[in-house]
Structure 1
Amino acid sequence: MTSQFELLAPGGDLASIHAAIAAGADAIYCGLGRFNARNRAENLTLEQLKAVLPLAHQHHCKIFVTLNIMLLESELNAVVKLLNQLMRIEIDGVIIQDLGLAYLLKQYYPMLDLHASTQLNSHNRGQILLLKQLGCSRVNLSRELSIDEIKPLAQFGWLHDVKMEVFVHGSYCIGFSGLCYMSSLRNGASGNRGRCSQPCRDTYQTTAVGVKHPLNMKDNCAYLELPKLVDAGVYSLKVEGRIKKPHYVYTVVQQWRKQLDSYEQTGELLTDTTPLYTVFNRDFSTGYLNADIQRGMFIDNPRNHAAEHFANLAAVNDEAEKQRIKVRVYDENTAIMAKVDAAVSQLLAEPINQPSPRKIADVHLPKLTTHPCDTAPSLSVLLSSKDDLALLQNPALANVHFYWQVPASLARDFDATLSLLQQYPQLRPWFPAVLIDDNYDAAIKLLETLRPELLVTNNSGVGYAAQQLQLHWLAGPQLNTSNSYALACLQQEFAASGAFISNEIAGFQLKHIKRPANFRLAYMLYQPLALLTSRQCLFQQTLGCRKQKINKGCLPRCSKTTELFNENGEQYRIAKLAGQHNAIYSAEHYLNLALLEEHADMFTELFIDLSDVDTATRCTLTKAALIEQFAALLNRQQRQAVMEQLSHAISPTTQGQYHSGL
């Protein structure tokens, strides 16, 4: 029965919210002028939100407010002021990414229902339990999951009173949400701040396989897959599109409303997708949902595919005839706009009952105290190649800590990984951000078997498991920690021993972050800078690959690299390391020596990543000598001379966001 479902619509502006209500949405997610992950949408003022709430509620439609970005220390007072206003009006929930914000909501705003954004990249049961502990009533799952991966999570969620939300229509991202820093590096427009400039849709220099838009994916459309979602136990069906126009929102929501009602009442699916193809689309795919991740999910055109779709249906090659079809599609969209205007006019003509505001006292931001480091920071090194294991026996590096990059394909590589970490007990495990299905199960088994003295994880589900096993753990750099309350959350809610501060944060934005007592604070000084992590194959559209689709052997075995150039000649590196997901890297390694001059007293741990990702950066030192130089940096008396030596030995490099920030 589809009564389990909520049809969740985008509301990028007031007109789109009206359109969604008129089309039959059960709920709408929308943002205000600040603190939401669609900064390019028009968004709402607080007064507009107050005005539209009673209209929505009169039509049995909920309104969720998106506050789903990383928060900076300087913004915390402003966000608390906003929360004080939101708790007095009848919003139905808030959507969050930042753990510090989640902590404040749990502690001081229990009347606000809390939803986990797709930016939290949730794809395993540990993450669901962690988010439940923070007070989340629902979790938006990663778009990359198949129905066979969604179903056990949805069933697990029902058992723990957490509902699952799944994107069913609209844009696919090429990268896992929350793990994309490509726009951030390019022009400071961070996707984790709602400012993504969509470099994945850009035109690039023609690749080896003749493609100009090698990162551009078709849109998601699960319209004909509804029975699978019913069987899986998904609760909320989410339509993407907060920067889309009202006629798009109306059309898509109305068609999904009809589909849900038809299936509930008759058990039959509607099969006519014509209206969905009439409004903006990049063609459609269900590749992720059906575990069919292949080159057919890409399209070499980021613009509207509607006219091309109908020309293809008509088998038309003549340009004049194509133009006539384009005009017809344009006219149909104009007619839809008129239909939406009429429906909304009727909607707004109805009398509205205005609720009385809630009388609730303001919450004031609780004060936190910083605890500066009273000792020099330690140096840690991340390794991923067995060729580097000899470094562990180097007596000159006796005071250096070493970590081992655990593969994302851990289920298949479990025995080898366990054996290596048992053979070298001084190696601490470093877990990747993405651990899906049996790879997460394998991560828990690894922790239970090894019980390491300390671990780093970029996957919050592993952090939750470490807490349950009473292990010491650090929240990795890809958990996007950017404020004092996120640190407090990690320590107080999940017994984390420490955390990395995000490399997206500028030096001046670090200044006022407060380190809790007895809490490690870490920073990655030197690394190949991963800008995007993808479950897709990034070689089929660039270098080329003999495989038509990804199979079970790709993740553990495939190892390739290539280059990608945009139209301005700027270079990116694409790398697939054996055992890891496809990734795009900055053309140069990240090296931040300025941090040592400006914030050395803030951190207890400094890290360097010696993973073998080939970029334009060249180092004249051996890895052993390089580690020794970084270790010497920690000595204040030697620091200036060593910084000069390192600057000459490693070049070219980038400092990413450190100067511009978020």
Structure 2
Amino acid sequence: MREIELLAPGGDVDSIKAAIIAGADAIYCGLDKFNARNRAANINFDELNGVIRLAHSHQCQIFLTLNILILENEIPALVQLLNKLSHTNIDGIIVQDLGLLYILSSYFKTLRIHASTQMTTHNAGQLQFLAHMDVERANLCRELNLAEIKYLSTQAKKHNMQSEVFIHGSQCVSFSGICYMSSVMSGHSGNRGRCSQPCRDRYASTQTARQYPLNLKDNAGYHQIGALYNAGVDSLKIEGRMKKYDYIYTVVKTYKKQIENWQKHQELLHEKEMLYKVFNRDLSNGYLTNKISKEMFIDNPRDYSILRLKDQTAFNSTLTRQQNELYDEKENIKQLVKNKIQAYSIEKQPVRLQISGESGLPLRISVQTTDHSFEIHSTILLHHQGNEPLNEHMLLKRLKAINNSLYYISEINLDKLKGRLYLPFKELTSLKDQILYLLGVTKKNTTSVQLAPIDSINQITAPSLSVIISSQQDVSLISETDSPLYFKLPSMLRHQLQAYIDIFKEKSNLIPWFPTVLMEDEYTTAIEFIRKVQPKVMVTDNSGIAFFAYRNGIKWIAGPAMNIVNSYSLQCVKEKFNASGAFISNELSRVQIKGIHKPTDFKLYYSIYHPNLLMTSRQCFTQQTIGCPKKFVDSYCIDQCEKYSTITHSTGDTFFIEKTKGNYHRIYSHQHYLNTEIVDDKHQKFDSFFIDLSKVKTDTKIKCSNIELIQHFTQILKGDSEAKKLCHHDIHPTTNKQFKKGI
């Protein structure tokens, strides 16, 4: 019977040990840099080597999370880390950033690549995009149901990729990778592993008496193990790198038992009580079972394991006794796991080196460890002349890479080395590499990588103005302005497909813009639209559409939600997918943008005015705010529903919830984004600045018409200071907080 992997989180060394003891087949963990759980304890590089050794000795794999956006000034340190990782036996690297994806695919062929859930993979085109970049495994979007997972798992196998699905733990209410709420509120970007979790915060009571209207219950696919197995999923992933060792042990052991029972008997266990005895926000399988409803929310962010007792118990005396029993059981679990993990060590193993030889003969190094014993010889003979004689200090310096691995040199014995002898440094390096390879520390023929410089040009240009619209009523602007007009299409086109085709055929200069989220049916409809309209150029925030454009020779531009923040991301979409241009992320500050190199024959874009979209969700916020009689969210809701509401954070900040026909629920900041400062930048690298005239209700008031707005911005680009003052007067209040803070 086919094996299915149980993938556990490891936020620190104790949690990693607990996952191994509980039976995890693989563990994902992060270092103290470049991972999306910066608030976790994480591990350092020396500990990583010990973790790999310990895990591999228990037939468990280790995947390293480098799943954040990488800033330009971090690239040298990142490459240095990748060079070190390529000399280890790490089993995979989990990534989000397109630049890192490009670097791994182009330069580090021995490192296996996994796509993070932050890449929001939910259609077949996105799998093709990832396969083109040598990705071996995709963590599928957390909002998918079983039928969608089955289809995508089948598609993944066609491209020699594995599929991975989150099976348990905390859930984000937004589609991962495209949530900017924490970034706008506090300057702590979720795409940098610093999310302040505003979705768990308290808000003013809504009309439906909800005080935590964005707070989802934890995901629990305990009873869907068999269905996920039959869907062809390769790995079941538990969330929880912020959780402690007792939580990891309990959850991993519970799911391991369920998986083993299914694989042995094709039957499911129904007892999941242990999952309620560790931290949880109550449990839900609404996404997996396609029952998206208000029942997936809980109006309390605290540990439900205690609150659940109150829901189940009628008498205070009984409640107190049960609470005490649960506290005792929690402590017993902690102590049990603590006792178990103390027997597991990630300490480095000692290496004893016996050095022998004489002039005219090869140098011999005998290597002894607890598990290894071997001898190697130099290919060059020892002699009496050279730069530095062989001695303990010199050998420790030349063989120090052994100390950077999961071993350390405990002894160098030179008793059998006869006389003052020399050997070229290059030969000692070769001997060191042989030792590391024979110890199982490194892969064969692995050499350090230096990145080739990007062919770039940052010439000063006179940027043009481009205009974005999202309603059919604004299409008439195409005859009233010389600026290119881009039309943001809805996520769901199928019921209005012909109407949109007619619009674009009539207005052949209108440029389509595809959204971030296009579930498989919606993606197929979008492809049909492209084939019938045959646009000369298009913008896409969805990598599946990007891949289709690349394969069909259509000129395309990478949208801002593709989260491009470094030069190698630009190189990725240009070199690997023939993009003609790309937007730089609005999360970046002026200083962070300044360091980015613009590739030759490539255009850069930036949105200077737009409604500030914070998150997009497959969930229904109407049920949480103003109420809705429907029990479940269905395709009709996405296609036809039009609702508007607000929520007010405990800080006093108001957020605007918009549901329009054909689109998912969206949350916007209370102010539009307006950044005229970047227009004055002396180090100009943008070919066009965009303004988004989409009619989204926020606190920002607009005192002029769309044509007047276009005229204001046209004059601003020409350096008219009066037009800038007039623009800020006619659009008020606004913010460009992200441009000042960055990520």
Q: TM-score category by the smaller chain? A: over 0.9
The answer on whether the counterparts of 2:72 and 2:592 sit within 8 Å (CA) in structure 1 is yes
Equivalent in the alignment of 2:499: 416
Of residues 586, 590, 599, the one that matches 2:673 is: 590
Listed as ranges, the gaps of 5+ residues in structure 1 are none
Identical counterparts, % of pairs:
43
447-456 or 93-102, which deviates more: 447-456
Deviation at 1:342, TM superposition (A): 2.6
Query: What secondary structure, in the 3-state scheme, does the structure 2 residue paired with 1:167 have?
Result: strand
Query: What does the per-residue CA deviation read over 1:626-650, in whole Å, with 9 as the maximum and x for residues that have no partner?
Result: 01211222213x2x22111111111
Equivalent in the alignment of 2:235: 236
Equivalent in the alignment of 1:385: 471
The answer on whether the counterparts of 2:672 and 2:735 sit within 8 Å (CA) in structure 1 is yes
The answer on whether the counterparts of 2:10 and 2:27 sit within 8 Å (CA) in structure 1 is yes
Deviation at 1:4, TM superposition (A): 3.4
The answer on whether the counterparts of 1:307 and 1:322 sit within 8 Å (CA) in structure 2 is no
Equivalent in the alignment of 1:169: 168
Counterparts of 2:226 and 2:255, CA distance in 1: 13
Deviation at 1:341, TM superposition (A): 1.7
Counterparts of 1:230 and 1:521, CA distance in 2: 44
Equivalent in the alignment of 2:533: 450
Matches within 5 A, 1:13-32: 13-32=12-31
Deviation at 1:322, TM superposition (A): 2.8
Matches within 5 A, 1:28-427: 28-312=27-311, 315-348=312-345, 353=371, 355-358=439-442, 360-394=446-480, 397=481, 399-427=482-510
Compute the RMSD of aligned alpha carbons. 1.5
Deviation at 1:373, TM superposition (A): 4.2
Counterparts of 2:493 and 2:690, CA distance in 1: 23
Of residues 736, 739, 742, the one that matches 1:655 is: 736
368-377 or 98-107, which deviates more: 368-377
Query: What does the per-residue CA deviation read over 1:427-451, in whole Å, with 9 as the maximum and x for residues that have no partner?
Result: 1100000000110001111112222
Counterparts of 1:538 and 1:599, CA distance in 2: 43
Of residues 663, 666, 671, the one that matches 1:580 is: 663
Equivalent in the alignment of 1:538: 621
Counterparts of 1:187 and 1:494, CA distance in 2: 35
- 1:632 paired to 2:631: no
The answer on whether the counterparts of 2:226 and 2:266 sit within 8 Å (CA) in structure 1 is no
Query: What does the per-residue CA deviation read over 1:237-263, in whole Å, with 9 as the maximum and x for residues that have no partner?
Result: 000000011000001101111111111
Of residues 651, 663, 678, the one that matches 1:568 is: 651
Query: What secondary structure, in the 3-state scheme, does the structure 1 residue paired with 2:625 have?
Result: coil
Of residues 615, 618, 621, the one that matches 2:701 is: 618
Equivalent in the alignment of 2:419: none
- 1:506 paired to 2:589: yes
Counterparts of 1:431 and 1:379, CA distance in 2: 20
Deviation at 1:417, TM superposition (A): 1.6
The 1:367/1:241 distance shift into structure 2, 3 A limit, reads same
Deviation at 1:548, TM superposition (A): 2.0
Matches within 5 A, 1:546-565: 546-565=629-648
Query: What does the per-residue CA deviation read over 1:242-287, in whole Å, with 9 as the maximum and x for residues that have no partner?
Result: 0011000001101111111111111111110011111111111111
Query: What secondary structure, in the 3-state scheme, does the structure 2 residue paired with 1:166 have?
Result: strand
Counterparts of 1:584 and 1:27, CA distance in 2: 36
Counterparts of 2:692 and 2:297, CA distance in 1: 32
Query: What secondary structure, in the 3-state scheme, does the structure 1 residue paired with 2:624 have?
Result: coil
Deviation at 1:40, TM superposition (A): 0.8
Counterparts of 1:151 and 1:193, CA distance in 2: 31
Deviation at 1:557, TM superposition (A): 1.1
Query: What does the per-residue CA deviation read over 1:132-156, in whole Å, with 9 as the maximum and x for residues that have no partner?
Result: 1111000000000011111111011
Counterparts of 2:138 and 2:13, CA distance in 1: 25
Counterparts of 1:205 and 1:513, CA distance in 2: 41
Counterparts of 2:50 and 2:346, CA distance in 1: 14
Question: Normalised by the size of structure 2, how large is the TM-score?
Answer: 0.86
Deviation at 1:601, TM superposition (A): 2.2
Letter of the structure 2 residue corresponding to residue 360 of structure 1: T
The answer on whether the counterparts of 1:373 and 1:603 sit within 8 Å (CA) in structure 2 is no
583-592 or 423-432, which deviates more: 423-432
Letter of the structure 2 residue corresponding to residue 345 of structure 1: Q
Equivalent in the alignment of 1:646: 727
Deviation at 1:489, TM superposition (A): 0.5
Count matched residues. Answer: 654
The 1:143/1:432 distance shift into structure 2, 3 A limit, reads same
Larger radius of gyration: 2
Deviation at 1:320, TM superposition (A): 4.7
Counterparts of 2:525 and 2:32, CA distance in 1: 42
Deviation at 1:52, TM superposition (A): 1.2
Question: Normalised by the size of structure 1, how large is the TM-score?
Answer: 0.97
Deviation at 1:374, TM superposition (A): 4.8
Counterparts of 1:239 and 1:411, CA distance in 2: 35
Counterparts of 1:256 and 1:558, CA distance in 2: 38
The answer on whether the counterparts of 1:555 and 1:579 sit within 8 Å (CA) in structure 2 is yes
Letter of the structure 1 residue corresponding to residue 462 of structure 2: A
Query: What does the per-residue CA deviation read over 1:202-238, in whole Å, with 9 as the maximum and x for residues that have no partner?
Result: 0111111111100000011001111210111000100
Counterparts of 1:253 and 1:222, CA distance in 2: 13
The answer on whether the counterparts of 1:204 and 1:214 sit within 8 Å (CA) in structure 2 is yes
Query: What secondary structure, in the 3-state scheme, does the structure 2 residue paired with 1:657 have?
Result: helix
Counterparts of 1:325 and 1:367, CA distance in 2: 65
Of residues 417, 436, 441, the one that matches 2:519 is: 436
Letter of the structure 1 residue corresponding to residue 737 of structure 2: G
Deviation at 1:600, TM superposition (A): 6.9
Letter of the structure 2 residue corresponding to residue 652 of structure 1: P
418-427 or 268-277, which deviates more: 418-427
Listed as ranges, the gaps of 5+ residues in structure 2 are 350-369, 372-405, 407-438
